[in-house]
Structure 1
Amino acid sequence: PASPPAVLFFRYRAECILEFMATLQGMSGVDLRALVAEAAVRLPLWVGKIYQFDAKTLGIRLNGEDRAKYQLLVETGRRAHFTAEFPVPPKNPPSFAMLLRKHLEGGKVLGIRQFGIERTVCIDVGKRDTTYRLIFELFDEGNAVLCDEGYTIVKPLWHHRFKTREVVPGAVYTFDGTDCSTLSPDGFGAMLAGSDRDIVRTLAVGCMLGGAYAEEVCRMADVDKSAAAADVDAAAIRASFDRLMADVAGSREPVITGSGCWPVVLGGEVVRERFATFSEALDAFYPKTAGEKEKAAAEKPRLSQDEVIRRRQAEAIKGFEKKIETNGRVVEVLYENYAPVAGIIATLDAASKNRSWQEIEQILKGNRENAAAKMIRAVHPAEAAVEVDLAGERVKVYVHETIEQNIGRYYDQIKKFKKKKAGALAAMERTVPEKPRRKQNLALQKKRWYHRFRWFTTTDGVLVIGGRDASQNEDLVKKYMEGKDLFVHADVHGGSVVIVKGTTVHLDEVAQFAASYSNAWKAGHFTADVYAARPDQVSKTPESGEYVARGAFIVRGERQYFRNVPLGVAIGLAMEPEVAVIGGPSGAVAARTGVRVELRPGQFEPNDTARKVVRALREKLPEDEWKGLKNALNTEAVAAFVPPGGSDIAEP
């Protein structure tokens, strides 16, 4: 992959780097190389939803081939790995997460790579005609940086200005990807020869391996780790170094030991647990945060609106009392220092008539030996005032007013805040009766197989289903009609095939259902004839020379007729045993709902009718109750029961 244009990037490399590995403090560059190799084999990937869980932790849902789903968790400054479960995201996504969603969601991951062996990983995402670079820094305080294709920063998680680089919008993201594996054999040997340290420290610091991996290279090369770097066999060290990097990238054996989490088993480490992938090991190694957040949220008491108001009033009263006390103290010190303050006022008032305040300020600064000048701590030319230090209390004094007028100013402030305090106390004494909060443990209706059809349940509990179109009519007869069912249809051209799944004494409800969901409603009729037949009377086989259209059937033999069936549909809100919008004949719906609306053939289109029904049902419910039912009572749920054609809401 192309490198960014600049390569100036400061890295702090102290001796503590000797302990780099996947510890609770964070991952090393070698660990990150293993993670990047693991992620690369999962390509191609596509970016799904992006989350920000706290100030430093982000998550990306990635979609792979064959419906594979992956969750990449990045805690900047610490770790990056795939996880089985994300922490609980905040209800309102932070602005940085929304920015990443806007630019990256739906984009294709073109590559996942590491800068050298630094603790920095870059995800290249192609979206439309643009390529974005999402860079995660796992070193120091950490950062997440969104760049364009040329590495110009679009937005970082945190803005930083360092001596050698800037991480701010519009700047070019710069880095130096240190990696000893890119050195030629001669260059590697020269690096060792030029070191004045022992071999283990040279590898740990110079090659960014950290102490444990540097010791492993020495062990694999059969070289004493305390030997001077300039004296060892450079070829043997390089071969061991390359073999370790190859194992980390391609032959991982992820484990957790007493000292940390490792992508490969190092000599001398006692293995506690083995894992199939390095991400699984890291996921198990690092403590979860979701449970802690949920626990903290559960422990935080939920206050009523009245309690919130009272707390704010109490805080305001404390603020007023503090200001009353402060102004009272100012009045006291003014009286205690009456003579010197009066002298300062008289002197500065006279001086301001002949000199500018800038000149006065310069004179005061150059005359610090004078006791009065020494008392003046600040000058406010715009207000013709100075701040005077009176026994440790800084008091603003207006020089064109007498000392009594200045004291009067502070008395006015005391009166003002006393009045505000009295008002807040009076407000607190007024008790506002709080509306009883209903705790609703509502079980929303689960999706069932017949919900894709028209359906209702008769008053005596029998399921009735009908087709929404010709295709569903075919399915009902071919797949769902059984020997003991009843076939029902309006005696008009075009309408739902209705199947009664059992025996009911409320065939009048079934007939009304079939009549209402037929073309009789579309035509504006208020009654229709309906017939019923046994399943064995229904056939798709036409007589010779005839044709049966899709969704239509031939019914042979004697039928049971229901004449002049009134058209009408009720839509209501059922609360038991599950919360759901239901619809169908008025009698069946009335038996299961507390609030409902009756429809008759009319003038309003189905979508308009659905919106009107939602409004009408909400008006029949208390506000606090319907607000808790938004997931159940909505236009989409209601529209499923509105008949085809125009409708009107019948007056009660």
Structure 2
Amino acid sequence: MDPKRELTSVDLAALVGEFGTYEGAKVDKAYLYGDDLLRLKMRDFDRGRVELLIEVGEIKRAHTVAPERVPDAPGRPPQFAMMLRNRLSGADFVGVEQFEFDRILEFVFDRDDGTTRIIVELFGQGNVAVTDGEYEVIDCLETVRLKSRTVVPGSRYEFPDSRTNPLSVSREAFDREMDDSDTDVVRTLATQLNMGGLYAEEVCTRAGVEKAMDIEDATEDDYRRVYEAIERLALDVRNANFDPRLYREPVEEDGENEESESPDDGPVVDATPFPLEEHEEAGLAAESADSFLEALDDYFFELELEDEEEPDPTEQRPDFEEEIAKHERIIEQQEGAIEGFEQQAQSQRENAELLYAEYGVVDDILSTVQEARAQDRPWDEIEERFEEGKERGIEAAEAVVGVDGTEGIVTVELDGEEIDLLARQGVEQNADRLYTEAKRIAEKKEGALAAIEDTREDLEDAKRRRDEWEATDETDDDDEDEAQEETNWLELASVPIRENEPWYDRFRWFHTSDGYLVIGGRNADQNEELVKKYLEPGDTVLHTQAHGGPVTVLKATDPSEASSSDIELPDSSIEEAAQFAVTYSSVWKDGRYAGDVYAVDSDQVTKTPESGEYLEKGGFAIRGDRTYHRDTPVGVAVGIQCEPYTRVIGGPPSAIEGQAETTIELEPGRYAQADAAKRMYRQFREEFTDESFVRKIASPDRIQHFMPPGGSRIAEE
């Protein structure tokens, strides 16, 4: 039996009640892994930390998980995760509902500034849409443009057309659906009554009705027994009468090891909210669980382990040095965090003491604001009043450095320290708030101290395993040299991650096939910065004739090296830089396939206009002759590099294909940048055996970082 990879409509109906026990939990943070796995970290008053996972890819699920089972946080949160953090941080979990009997869950969160709905589609390609309280889409993982419905940012979220709900269908409607069928009983239940294959079979088994019976042969008594079985199932769901089960394939007994084998050792195939006669008849081994959420957590955790191919330790030596270096980096960061916590806590305590030391001044400020607000005076007027007070030399007014009416905060400067005061509170309350914050930070320090001890243990364990490996490694060095082959990164079960964020990473960039760095601005500010700060003698500057392109600099040297005007840049690098310049300009955005580019030496570029000229931000003037590259074709490839660093790279195909393990070439097309990035991400995941590696280093947001502005499509798609 194939393991379940998607939750059924019955599963979701059962989950709604169990999710209700977490109502009131507060959201701490949101994480997005790749383009299909969402994690919400919450805090519940009774249970403490709560982790919610929502996955809408090949696996489609939504359930809580044990904190120790959550994946490590991605290194760089994508825009979708940052949007969720901005909307949900500190929000209360209000509840969750299932739309009709569809595989759609709607999670609702409330905060003082509004309501946020996360609508999870666990059918088809899967999707997560984030809307406001009025169902206007803020953002979504997948844009949907169908005749029947649209899901795009800025539009109102549209649910799919309603279908028959078998758990609430009347007897008359049930009879009509059955009578209108031209197939057998089980297929009618599965499709026309939307029960799905498993529960359609379960209902037939519970009703004692032959599954393959043709509808025309079914009697009134057959209809009655099937309907009553559906009613009993619906009653169990409505009353949360659950007895969850985790089902496994039975392990075939081996005569030589019969005593040590147990049916509970088999691979998982399903988790259900109550026992199923279908599974019992199939001989599956069943395990009880305290809750359906717990059963799903165990099920998908084991399913993921079973899906992962265990790497063969004989294939390659584990990268102990990278693991040790990672733990050492973490310890260094933890030590820095502990020191930071100490400083922050001390700063909060000192600020609280300052409020008492300057009690009279602070009280005057807060009383002034509170009296003005009691008279409904606007915040702008209050701020003007403080400014007037400063001119008259009033001590309390001179201490005020900022007024934020949207948050009700007044910022004061006391003894050189800026302190935010909640205007609605008094001096004592503000001081108590600072003392409480200092205490909270001190508690974080205690947690960090415990964490650093764990990391030190991990470090010692990695060193011990390295020493054991080297002590037992009897392979002759000469034999190793002969056996060494080029690593096939695509087929590695686990690709070691070697991160590197160079100084130019925030710009557009690539290395030419000759090894020279090319950088380009993403906006007018970066164009300005490149010309003023990074342009050096010997560099070549390229720009398109078309308006709206990046300043492109082909570097002759690295900023850390001495500049040189003697270096002769290869023609191949100049041609690739020209293609880069035209590709990331308005030429691509307009859907054209070629454009003109000119190149000049660095000393021909100036930010000083001639008399009567005006240079807008990001613009520059050229003095002297230009070298033109006519009809330069656009072209870009995005790839994943595995050595010396693991990262996404992008640029002209002739340069990128030699530096990346796998590449995808793009051309101007109809897909929005975000949609094309998601398609590329899925293709990269299919190419690597280690899908988690792609998820960690090549998220759609990171891929988008190297794509031209405007519509794209995968070449030869």
TM-score (normalised: structure 1): 0.43
When Rg is computed on C-alpha atoms for both structures, the one with the higher figure is: 1
